[in-house]
Every structure is written in C-alpha cells, then in structure tokens.
Structure 1
C-alpha cells in the first residue's frame, strides 16, 4: 500500500450535538485540505463524555444522547467523511442498552464498530460493556479500534493485531490524575501513562497506532489531549502535546510493518502454549 497521511485529533466536545457536528465538520475540512486520508476523532465526540466517573454524577446529568448505529447521526458523519476514513466516538443505543462505542465510516457508510470492553471506576453505571475486539478492512488498511481504558490491557491490542490489524486506533476521554494532579498537564502522571500505553501498544504488536483524545474540561474531568501517531517501533511521529490540535503523519503502512518485523517479529515469535496462566480466569 502507498503512503497514507493520517491524523489524530485532540479537541473538546460536549452535549450539544449540533455544536459537536460543527466542530467535526471543521476538523474534517481541515484534514481534507491537508490531504489526510485517515482521521481519528476522540471518544464521545458525538454528545460528550460523562461529567464524572463517580457513577451518576449526583443526578446532574442524563449522559450523552444515545444514537443508533444505523441512525441519522452516523449517516451524517459518513456524509461528512466522504472519501476520507473517519473514526469517532459516540454513545450507541441498541435495544434497551447503551454502549460507549466508536465507529469507522466513509461516505459509503459504516466499516466497523467497537463497544468499549473495559470500564473504569463508575462508568458501568452509564454504559453496558462490549465483549470483543476485532479488525476490519478499510480503504487505508486493516484497522482495529479500542476506547480509552481498553488500551491499559495488553490483550486488547494483541487481539486486534492477531486479527490482522495493521493500524490500531484508540479514541479516548482520558483525564489527568484525580489525586495529586499536576498544575502542568505535561507533568501529570496520567499524561505520562497515556503516552506510555500508546507507545508500548504500538511497539509490542509492531503496528501503526493512532491515539485521539478529548481536550479541555467537562464536568469534573480535565483531559490531557496528547493526540499522536506512533510507528511500529514505538516512536511518536507526530503529537499535539497537552494542547488541542491535530497530529498528522505520513506512513507507508506496509513498509513500516515489514521493517519493524523483519528480524524480531513479536507476533510470529509468540509461544502461546506457555501462556496458560496469563489467560486463566481472574484469581
């Protein structure tokens, strides 16, 4: 495959869907002008995240609007994407359940959807949990998606890599530390963890990695931004730092994976027969 210009966004989103779509339309237009073919937007960019991770936020908020995967809002997102492959987080409605989800679209419609599996703190009070990780084909390569806390678990990224993902995309609403928060976000321990997870997940699976995140504040949460593109060796090719922005990088995906896996190929050299304890049920 030829070189793909890809971008990950750090931006602020809230409950007002029309305002969110205005921001998304502006970001897509900016990315299109820059020649971007793959654009990753943050978790919950359609409708905003939760005001708090302490359960129901004291009843102050009903949460983001729940949208159907085949509903008009996702169709609108696809129309905005056009020829571009766009990934965006939203609250998914399915029957009586609500999921923290991320969707991948082009102008042709939905290419993939993922429901967040790992739920931090009180998030389970607002969302049901997903139950799988998978990869799917897109015009820019085979992609696997995850959401925020999913990337704290090595099994998540390994699952999409084993399903053939060439590009891992993690969308987040990752806040700074709730205790002993640093005045400078760049020095916050949760910012460092966010960056470490991104680099390690790319390196251990030798895949290209896009990380999008919310910025600004929402309710009691202050987000660390830090959107980035990471190569299969764990090196950051482009990043926004702790400010809002768009991290853009050109990657020849096939060549990057081939180069990274030429001698020490982590997926090839696995010894799954020795990992029984690692896959056993929780103690």
Structure 2
C-alpha cells in the first residue's frame, strides 16, 4: 500500500513577487521537513489576486509559463510536486492560471474557465479541463469558482484524475459578513463544494486558499484534504496554515468505488441536455 503525504496551504500572498517567493520557499521547506510529496499553494500565489472584483486597476504581474519565475518555482520544488497559482501571460492575453511542477519540469497547467462577477475584466478565460500524470498519481487542476460547477470536476474524473487540486482566492461574504469567518455563509459554501466534489466523483480532493485580506477582500482560508468519501482528513479551519494528510490514493479510490461507483453507474443517455443546454 503506497501512501502519499499531501498538503494544502492557506496563506496570504500579494503584489510583492519577491516576498511571495520568500513565502513559497519557506512553505516548501516546511513541507519537505514534514515529508510532503504533493503541495498545493493558493490561487495567485505568485503576484497576488485582485484587490476587488469590480475591475482591479492594478493587475497582478503577468508571468510566462516558460519564463524565469516558473523556472524558479521548479527549482524550489525539487522532487516535490507543487501546484501554485499565477497570472499567465500568453502574447497579449492574460489568464488566471495554476501550474503543477516537479522533478525539474512543468507537469501540467490549467487556465481558470469560470469567472465570477467582473473577473473577466482582468483575465481571459480558459476553455477546458484535462488531467495529467505525475509522480504522485494522475492529477486534475481547477481554480476557485471552477468548483461551483459539477461539470468541471466530473470532466477531470472522467479523464482519469485520481487527485483534484483546487487552488482558490475565495473570499468571505461582502454583505452581512459576520465577525467570525467560521460563521460566514461563503466559508460554508467553500467547504460544501470541496466535500461534494470529492464525494460525487470519488476522488481525493486538495483545496488551497488565500488567507488574510487583500484590497476589499477577506479570504476564508479553510485549506483541506478530502478523501473520496467526502470526509475531511485535515483542515486549517479559518486560519492560515498547512493541512497535511497521508492517503493511499489507489486503495482509497478502489474502496470508495467498489460497491457504488459514481462514474461507472452514470447514465449519459438519460441527461443529454448536459452537452448542449444553455440558460
């Protein structure tokens, strides 16, 4: 039985790219001491998220996937598999992206597909979900609001993803916000999506999130590891930190899917509207 030690981070990142790399270096070093093999850092870990969702005038630094900053992340990761969010430059286009690196190279990446409120004033949209092989198993990536759409995780699960890593800059409520983030309705929704997506697809789910405040946004933290039964194995709660759990991924998926296999028992012919329906 091969167990994988994985960790999801809740931490604050901002426009100070050098400071962000300093935090990333410390988090990777801490994870390495703890024997972590797969580490998930938040959305926009390199360069910070948007200060608001009404069209932030100060955009995050745009980095190329083949540029020196991602090469620096690759060096820091070493033989650990590390996922981190960043603003990706591709010609004149900018994407809210996440990259997965390890073993001296880029293993995979994803451009955020679903954009809440006015995020599309700052980023172009990605157009799909694809899983890829890594030293710790087949991984699928998504970013924040992507997880509100069951089709996102289901697409990755059908592409063979055993582990889905969702990186976020998920804020608390902007209206009627309670003083305690644990009582915030957006914290509750964040946690519900994590557990539901893991359970309905019977996959291991790794959820990282920003912490603290940035501009008008206050982030809910709540980094966690969820097993294929939807049970939370480790969480930071509404505080910064690193949620660490050991899981035998192959065995956990086999056990979860043995009797009630949610992917196996689908009836695509019964819901054809999923392929074409618009509102």
* Same fold, TM-score > 0.5, yes or no: yes
Distance 2:3 2:77 in 1: 19
The question of 1:135 aligning with 2:131 is answered yes
TM-score, length basis structure 2: 0.99
> Is the CA contact 1:102–1:145 (under 8 Å) kept in the aligned structure 2?
yes
Distance 1:133 1:96 in 2: 22
Could you tell me which residue of structure 2 aligns to residue 20 of structure 1? 20
The question of 1:114 aligning with 2:110 is answered yes
> Is the CA contact 1:80–1:107 (under 8 Å) kept in the aligned structure 2?
no
| Post-superposition offset of 1:55 | 1.7
Could you tell me which residue of structure 2 aligns to residue 7 of structure 1? 7
CA offset digits 1:175-234 (Å, max 9, x no partner): 001111111000000000000000000000000000000000000000000000000000
| Post-superposition offset of 1:6 | 0.2
Compare 198-207 and 104-113 and name the one that shifted more: 104-113
Secondary structure of the residue aligned to 1:121 is coil
| Residue among 156, 163, 176 paired with 2:159 | 163
> Is the CA contact 1:78–1:106 (under 8 Å) kept in the aligned structure 2?
yes
CA offset digits 1:31-55 (Å, max 9, x no partner): 0000000000000000000000012
List gaps (5 residues or longer) in structure 2: none
Report matched runs for 1:96-245 at 5 Å.
96-245=92-241
| Residue among 65, 87, 92 paired with 1:69 | 65
Distance 2:239 2:228 in 1: 24
How many residue pairs get aligned? The number is 279
Over aligned residues, Cα RMSD in angstroms?
0.7
| Post-superposition offset of 1:236 | 0.1
Secondary structure of the residue aligned to 2:118 is helix
Could you tell me which residue of structure 1 aligns to residue 39 of structure 2? 39
The question of 1:257 aligning with 2:253 is answered yes
